[in-house]
Amino acid sequence: MDTTNISVQYVSAVLPGDETPRLVKRMHFVSFVGMLRADLFEGLCVGHAPRKCPICGRWFLTTNARHTKYCGGIAPGDKLGRTCRQIGNLRGREQRELADDHPLKLVYERRLNTINRSVSRGMLDRETASAMKKLAKDKLLRAISNSDYAKGSYAQEMEQDSLMAEARKVQ
C-alpha cells in the first residue's frame, strides 16, 4: 500500500452559519483505503479511539477522549433488547469502579498530586503529608463502598484544607 496517496491543502472558507472565514483542511485521496487510513488517524488525534466491548466483543470507536467501556449496540442474549451500556450499568458499582477514570478516583488522584507538590515545594512536612494521604485513601474506599457518602460530603472532605486539619488533629 502506498502511504503517500494523499494531498492536503489548507484553504480559507466561510462555514455555513458563520460570517468570518476560517482556515480549513482539504484532503484529496487517490484511493478509498487511503481515505479510511487518514480518517482513522484524524479521529485518533481528537480522541476517537478503538475499543473492544467486554460484553459483546465487538470493536467500537469512543466518541470523546474519556474512556468509554461499553458499546451502544444491542447486547447479545438479552431478552429485553438492552444495549451493552445498559447491561454494563446494571452489573453493579464494583464493575464501574474498576475503571481508572472513575470520578471518585479522579478526585483522589488530584488530591495526591496536590499533596506531593506541596511537599516538594516545602509547604508541607512529610509526616502530615503521609497522614493526609492515608486519610484520602480511607475516604476513597469509604466513598466506593457507600454511595450516599460519595454523593454527599466526599468532595468537601477531600479538599486540601479539610484533609490537613483532620490530619493535624489525628497527629
Q: Which amino acid is at 29?
A: F
pLDDT in tens, the chain (171 residues): 455 677 888 999 998 888 899 998 888 888 888 888 888 888 888 778 888 888 899 998 887 656 678 888 898 988 888 888 888 877 765 555 556 667 788 889 999 999 999 999 999 999 999 999 999 999 988 887 777 888 888 889 999 888 888 888 877
- Beta-carbon contacts of residue 140 (< 8 Å; ≥ 6 apart): 104, 105, 107, 108
Q: Sign of the CA dihedral 99, 101, 103, 108?
A: positive
The three-state secondary structure class of 14 is strand
Q: What is the DSSP letter of 116?
A: H
> Which of helix, strand or coil describes residue 164?
helix
Q: Is the pTM of this model over 0.85?
A: no
